[in-house]
Amino acid sequence: MTENATIYDDDDADSTALDGKTVAVMGYGSQGHAHAQNLDDSGVDVVVGLREGSSSRDAAREDGLDVTTPVDAAAQADIVSVLVPDTVQPDLYEQIRGELDEGDTLQFAHGFNIHFGQIEPDEGVDVTMIAPKGPGHIVRRDYERGEGTPGLLAVYRDSTGEAWDEALAYGQAIGCTRAGVIETSFREETETDLFGEQAVLCGGVTELIKMGYETLVDAGYSPEMAYFECLNEMKLIVDLMYEGGLGGMWDSVSDTAEFGGLTRGDVVVDDHARENMETVLEQVQQGEFAREWITENQANRPSYNQLRNAEKNHEIEAVGERLRGLFAWAEEPDETADETEE
Ligand code: NAD
Ligand code: MG
Ligand code: MG
Ligand code: MG
Ligand code: MG
C-alpha cells in the first residue's frame, strides 16, 4: 500500500477565501449547471459564460443566474471555472485568455488539458481543480438535500499563495466538503480517470457484457435470457458493491454464486487482462492516448463515429430496448438522459 490521500471536510474549509470574489462558470451542461446553482445558493457571486445563441442560455436565466458571453464573464471574474467539454476548452481558453489578470484563477473539473499541455496558462494565473466524483445532477441533488458529493482537489499553480484555500472554499460552496475532498494532483487525477473509464468502467464493463452475451447467444440460449444475465443484473451487483464493497456483494448473493464467482472470475479476467490493463495505463501515462484523441478530434472524429455506430448496432441494444419497454421504470422521465458520468 502506498500513502493514503489527505481528505478535507467542512471544518477545513474557510468560506471567506471567496469573499468579494466573482466566479465565472463557463458552460451550463452537466457540471456547469450544478456548480453555478450551488455557488449561487451558497451566496457566492456567480456569472455564467455562454456563447450568443447557446441553447443553455435560457436554462441558466430560468434558474435565476446572470448570463453573458464567455469573454465578458471572464472579464468580471476572479475565478474562471472551465466547465465546457474537454475538447472545447483549448479554444475557449484562447478566447478568454486576455481577460485573465494576474492573481485570477483558472479552475477545472478534470486535468486533461493542463496535464497534456493543451492549455498553458500565462504566468501569474493560479490553476486549480475541484472535480466532483459524480455527474452534475447528483452534485446538485446532493447539495439540495443538504448532503454533498465527494470531490477531488488539486493545485497546479499557486502564484498568489491563496490557491489552496480558494479551491477548498469553492469545494465547500458546491457541497463537496460535506462529503469529503481528496487531495490529488492534475497528473494523478487525469491518468487515473482515463485509465478507469477505459479499462474498468466504460470500456471494460461494456466488453465484459457483450462478450458474456455473445457467448450465451452463440451457444444457443435466448437473447432475452442473455440480456438479463449479462446486462440487466449488472446494476443489481454494482449497487451492492457501491453500498457495501465487494464483501457486501458476496454476502448478498447465494453461496453458489459466491463460490462460482471466486473460482471462475479470474479464469475469465486472467493475467492477459492484467497485462492488457498495464498496456492501456502506459498509453495513458506516455500521452499516447491523449495524442490519439486530439488527432481524432482535429480530423472530425472518423474512428469515433464509426465505433459509436458499431456499438449502437450491436444486437444487445435492440434486445434491451424491447425488454426495457416492458418495465414501468423505463417510462419514467430520465433526467440524466443527456448527462454522462465521464
Ligand atoms: P457537458 O458536455 O455536459 O456540458 C458542456 C456545456 O458547455 C454545454 O452545456 C454548453 O453550455 C457548453 N458547450 C458545449 N459545446 C460548446 C462549444 N462548442 N463551445 C462553447 N461552449 C460549449 O460538460 P460536462 O460533462 O459538464 O464537462 C465539463 C467538465 O467537467 C469537463 O472537464 C469534464 O471532464 C468534467 N467532469 C465531468 C463530469 C460529468 O459527470 N459530466 C464529472 C467530473 C468532471
Ligand atoms: Mg479578471
Ligand atoms: Mg485568485
Ligand atoms: Mg443468476
Ligand atoms: Mg473522464
Q: Which ligand is nearest to the CA of 69?
A: 1
Ligand 1 centroid from CA 235, angstroms: 26
Which residue minimizes the CA distance to atom 12 of ligand 1?
A: 27
Helix, strand, or coil (residue 316) = helix
Do 118 and 294 touch, CB atoms closer than 8 A? yes
What's the pLDDT at 329?
Answer: 64
- Nearest atom in ligand 1 to 26's CA: 7
Q: Which ligand is nearest to the CA of 101?
A: 2
150 lines ligand 1 (CB under 6 A): no
67 lines ligand 1 (CB under 6 A): no
Instruction: Please give the C-alpha separations between residue 24 and each of 14, 28, 231, 254, 295, in angstroms, as whole numbers.
Output: 20, 11, 41, 52, 30
Which residue minimizes the CA distance to atom 36 of ligand 1?
A: 109
With vertex at residue 191, the alpha carbon angle to CA 185 and CA 195, rounded to the nearest 5 degrees, is 145
Q: What is the pTM of this model?
A: 0.93
Which H/E stretch holds residue 61? helix 56-62
Ligand 5 centroid from CA 197, angstroms: 6
Helix, strand, or coil (residue 150) = coil
28 lines ligand 1 (CB under 6 A): yes
Instruction: Calculate the CA dihedral of residues 171, 173, 175, 176 and round it to 10 degrees.
Output: 10
What's the pLDDT at 337?
Answer: 47
Do 67 and 94 touch, CB atoms closer than 8 A? no
What strands, in cross-sheet order, belong to the sheet with 126-132?
A: 7-8, 181-183, 151-157, 126-132, 105-108, 79-82, 22-26, 45-49, 66-68
Do 211 and 180 touch, CB atoms closer than 8 A? no
Helix, strand, or coil (residue 336) = coil
186 lines ligand 1 (CB under 6 A): no
Residue span(s) of the chain under CATH 3.40.50.720 come to: 7-184
Pairing of strands 151-157, 7-8: unpaired
What's the pLDDT at 325?
Answer: 87
Which residue minimizes the CA distance to atom 39 of ligand 1?
A: 135
76 lines ligand 1 (CB under 6 A): no
C-alpha to C-alpha distance for 199 and 126, rounded to whole angstroms:
32
CATH fold label, 7-184: Rossmann fold (3.40.50)
Q: Which ligand is nearest to the CA of 103?
A: 3
- Nearest atom in ligand 1 to 108's CA: 32
Which residue minimizes the CA distance to atom 22 of ligand 1?
A: 84
Which residue has 500500500 as its cell numbers?
Answer: 1
Q: Which ligand is nearest to the CA of 191?
A: 5
Q: Is 40 annotated as a binding residue?
A: no
Instruction: pLDDT tens for the chain, 342 residues: list them.
Output: 578 999 999 999 999 999 999 999 999 999 999 999 999 999 999 999 999 999 999 999 999 999 999 999 999 999 999 999 999 999 999 999 999 999 999 999 999 999 999 999 999 999 999 999 999 999 999 999 999 999 999 999 999 999 999 999 999 999 999 999 999 999 999 999 999 999 999 999 999 999 999 999 999 999 999 999 999 999 999 999 999 999 999 999 999 999 999 999 999 999 999 999 999 999 999 999 999 999 999 999 999 999 999 999 999 999 999 999 888 665 555 554 444 444
Instruction: Please give the C-alpha separations between residue 234 and each of 206, 268, 309, 340, in angstroms, as whole numbers.
Output: 11, 16, 23, 18
- Nearest atom in ligand 1 to 91's CA: 19
Ligand 5 centroid from CA 204, angstroms: 14
Which residue minimizes the CA distance to atom 10 of ligand 1?
A: 27
Intra-chain end-to-end CA distance of the chain, in Å: 27
The total of other beta-carbon atoms located within 10 Å of residue 76's CB is: 16
Do 133 and 179 touch, CB atoms closer than 8 A? no
Q: DSSP letter string over 227-286?
A: HIIIIIHHHHHHHHHHHHHHHHHHHHS-HHHHHHHHHHHHHHS-HHHHHHHHHHHHHHHT
- Nearest atom in ligand 1 to 338's CA: 3
Crossing angle for the helix pair 233-252 and 255-268, to the nearest 10 degrees: 110
Which residue has 448570463 as its cell numbers?
Answer: 67
Which residue has 440460449 as its cell numbers?
Answer: 221
Please list the active-site residues. Answer: 110
Q: What is the ipTM of this complex?
A: 0.95
Ligand 5 centroid from CA 189, angstroms: 9
Which residue minimizes the CA distance to atom 1 of ligand 1?
A: 29
Q: Is 252 annotated as a binding residue?
A: no
Helix, strand, or coil (residue 111) = coil
Classify residue 90 by its DSSP letter.
H
Ligand 3 centroid from CA 24, angstroms: 12
Ligand 1 centroid from CA 86, angstroms: 7
Do 104 and 126 touch, CB atoms closer than 8 A? yes
C-alpha to C-alpha distance for 129 and 135, rounded to whole angstroms:
16
Q: How many contiguous H segments (helices) and E segments (strands) does the chain have?
A: 17, 9
